[in-house]
Chain A
Amino acid sequence: MTDPLLSIRGLRKSFGEIEVLKDVDLDVGRGEVVTVIGPSGSGKTTLLRCVNFLESYDAGSIRIDGEEVGFSAPGQRRNERTLARMRAETGMVFQSFNLFPHLTAAENIMLGLRKVRRKSRDEARAIAETWLDRVGLAHKADSLPAELSGGQQQRVGIARAVAMEPKVLLLDEITSALDPELVGEVLEVVRALAAEGMTMLMVTHEIAFARDASSRIVFMADGRIAAEGEPRELLANADDYPRLAAFLARFRASYF
């Protein structure tokens, strides 16, 4: 793979005594959809949160389009304004949606467009409406988050992130907080984005979705990448990786 859009090298991160990321290397190419799976506590979410520097990291590097995300030089944290500019290059969708409760669906999408992208109110509104339409919520533009179902909130969350035209979209267990019958509508939106060539790095427990929608699956265990590969190939050969096999077995056990 030449010129990866997102390049992570030797990433290390500890919370106090506990090392949650132990020397992680990962590349995501333009238009690639990479899914990270693994048992809880394996460092998946932390890895994702390092990419847009919601978490700082102790060593290693994260580059987006060749530019180091959090540090201007080793150990030299970027100032907050530069960090904000770097973060605008990535979009993030959260497990618990995290919509701004005082803003309507449209306003949630418009906030970043206005403040960060410096769009006019009308322009931002038009973009917000386009995206709400794309996620099937044109009729909910003026609803507050509290008036929306979980699935609808999450679709607004996705619209808010992609409306900013990020280079990489980060999806952090975006269906984990949803009732089972609402999962499909959210995954459908992600599937459409993937088909359009949006570069994505996602953490999910929806193994079937990961298999169908991603170009690569990365299996993390104990802060390391324990296996990775083309989805069907990796899942078919899971028995070559004892920890992956055990993880998938537990999954099947809990689902069937």
Chain B
Amino acid sequence: MGYDLNFAVVWRNFDKMWGGLLLSLELAVISIAIGVLIGLVLALAHVSGGRWLRGVIAAYVETIRNVPLILLVYLVFYGLPQAVDIRYDAATSFVVTLSVYSGAYLVEVFRAGLEAIPKGQIDAGKALGLTPWQRFTSVRLPAMIRIILPALSNTFISLFKDTSVASVIAVPELTWGAQWINLNTFRIVEAYLIATAMYLVTGYLLLFLLRLLERRFRVGRHA
């Protein structure tokens, strides 16, 4: 049996998908920004902290990495308001979840980066008389970024795609937009094909931008 592709219906409701994509990007950017902050602080704490602190951070990382994101989304959106007196909309709830989730992955990326900085560079910073904070901002951070950028790009793209999980709690992002069109017009193939194309193009664009950044940082890698 044939299936007649009819994109016209989808185009009529394209605002659902375009608006969805923008929201997906917004969710990703906010969550990644918070995740980067969590990741940086915890990676620094892990590298310079004691055994107890390391244990706590390792527990956080392992817990998050071994639980499916969709379960965390359900737990935070449906479970948490039951347990404690807290109220938030679905989008906020998802941002909280994805931030904590991305933080766990980013701790590992940053930690690996910090540990890979040649010790001689830190010695050179110390020998100049830089304070610990100056050494962090002027020596360790730039060195770390150059080391981790490829891994960071992968993580960012992956987290952008993870925003699709927000559809399960009806956050009107791109996947939810495709579902809406499917449910209201029954154009299932067209809706998901276009959503797929939109993820693909956006993902490629992000990767392209991050690769540009990598190239800028890569110069003089071995020294």
Contact = CB atoms under 8 A, between A and B. Distances in A.
Contacts of B142: 100, 102
Interface string A58-100: 0000000000000000000000110011111111101011111
A54 interface: yes
Contacts of A101: 121, 143, 146, 220-223
Interface stretch (B107-115, B131-139, B166-174, B182-190): B131-139
Given A100-B125, A115-B138, A146-B220, 11 more contacts: A84-B134, A86-B129, A88-B129, A89-B129, A90-B127, A98-B118, A98-B121, A101-B121, A116-B129, A160-B128, A161-B127
B191 to A, nearest CB: 46
Nearest to A102: B142
A112 B125 CA distance: 8
A94 B120 contact: yes
Given A88-B129, A111-B128, A102 B222 contact: no
Size category, B interface: 20 to 34
Contact of B128 (A102, A116, A146): A116
Interface of B: 118, 120-121, 123-132, 134, 138-139, 142-143, 146, 217, 219-223
Q: Is the interface of B mostly helix, strand, loop or mixed?
A: helix
A96 B132 CA distance: 22
A80 B217 CA distance: 30
A98 B219 contact: no
B139 A100 contact: yes
A84 B129 contact: yes
Interface residues of A, number: 34
B124 A98 contact: yes
A231 interface: no
B213 to A, nearest CB: 13
17 contacts: A52-B126, A54-B123, A91-B127, A92-B124, A92-B127, A98-B120, A98-B121, A101-B146, A101-B223, A102-B146, A102-B219, A111-B128, A112-B129, A116-B128, A144-B220, A146-B222, A164-B128
Q: Please indicate which of the listed interface residues A89, A94, A153 has the most CB atoms of chain B within 10 Å of its own CB.
A: A94
B223 A97 contact: yes
Contacts of B126: 52, 54, 84, 87
A115 B128 CA distance: 9
